[in-house]
Structure 1
C-alpha cells in the first residue's frame, strides 16, 4: 500500500476513535513511549520480534501522525506535494557510510533531539512552522533508521496499521485504552 494511503487510513482510524481530540501533550507522551521501545529494540538487536525495530518504527509513525492531526500539521498535504520527503538526504547518508563515518548512534541522537523539539516548540508557543520542521526531521531520522534495518517507513507503517485497523477500545482520561487492556 502506498504511504499516502496508509497515512490517510491512520488519520481516519484516529478520527473514528476521537484520538484527534486529545491534548497534544498526552499524545506526545505516547510518542516518547514508542521512541523508548524503538531504542530498546535497537539496543537488543530485536528487528522482527514483538516490540522489535520494525514494529516500533510503525508504532512511532502512528503516534506521530496522530500528534500531527491533533496539532493541525498537515503531513498528508506535504506527502501529496513532495512525495517521500524523508529521503531527501539519502545521498549524504550513503556518503557517510562510504567514508566509514556513519554511526547509528548519531541517528538515535538526532531522533531524540528532533522529537524533543516538537514538544518544545509547542510548549513555548512557537510558530507551528518550527513544530512542523521538527516533525519533518523526525521523519528523516525514522527513515534513516528503517534503512539501516533493511526496511522502510511504508513497510513498517503498513505493519502497524494492519495491527491496529480493527482495534477497539475506549478513551479513559484522554488516553485510548485497547479493549484487551480494559479487563486487566
Structure 2
C-alpha cells in the first residue's frame, strides 16, 4: 500500500463524521451554512470553557468541537488533514503531540487546561475574522485542532477518544434543518 493511501484512525473518524453530516444534508442546498456552523463551534467552545473553568470533565466538549470542526472544514471547501499539512500517512494527532514535545511545549506550560482554552479562544476569534474577511480558514482551523489535541493530552486522554465518544453519541441522531441550523428530532416536538 502506498503511503498516500494509508488511512489513519483519525482520518477514518473524519470520514465517518463527514458521511454522517452528508446523510443529514449538511452540505446540500437548504442544509448547514458556514456561518451557522462557526457559531455552533462557538456554542460548543462555550461548553468547553464552562467545564474547564469548573475543572470538570471536558472529553465530551472536545469531541463535540471536533465534530463541528470537521463539518466547518468541509463547508469551507477543505478538510482538517489539508489544514494541518502533515504527511498523509502520518497520524495527525500523534504528530501534533510529538511536535509539541519536541518544542518542550508541555514542560514550558503550566500543564493545565485553562491557558490552552484561552489560546483556543484566540483561535476562535481568528476563525471569525477570517470568515468575515473571506480569508482562507485553514490556519485558524488548524490552530483550533492543535489546541483541542493539546487540551485532550492535558486532560489525560486523546482527541481520537473524545471524537469517538462524540461520534457514537450523534451517530443515531436524526433531525432537519431550520434556517440553516440542524435541529435534533427530539427537539422538533418541543
Task: Tell me the TM-score normalized by structure 1.
Answer: 0.86
The SS at the match of 1:72 is: coil
Q: Is the 8 A contact 2:52 2:113 kept in 1?
A: no
Match 1:167 to one of 162, 169, 173: 173
Q: Which stretch shifts more, 30-39 or 101-110?
A: 101-110
Deviation beyond 6 Å, 4+ runs, structure 1 = none
Deviation of the 1:90 alpha carbon = 3.0
Uncovered stretches (5+) of structure 1, i.e. residues with no partner: 48-52
| Structure 2 residue 18 is matched with structure 1 residue 11 | yes
Pair 1:167–1:79, CA change in 2 (3 A): farther
For 1:20 and 1:46, the matched residues in 2 are separated by 34
Distance in 1 of aligned mates of 2:74 and 2:155: 28
Looking at structure 2, the residues matched to 90 and 12 of structure 1 have their Cα atoms a distance apart, in angstroms, of 33
Bigger relative CO (Cα 8 Å, ≥ 6 apart): 2
Of 87-96 and 117-126, more deviation after overlay is shown by 87-96
Does the CA contact (< 8 Å) of 1:146 and 1:153 recur in 2? yes
Return the offset for 1:42: 1.1
Give 2:62's aligned residue: 57
Pick from 71, 95, 102 the counterpart of residue 107 of structure 2: 95
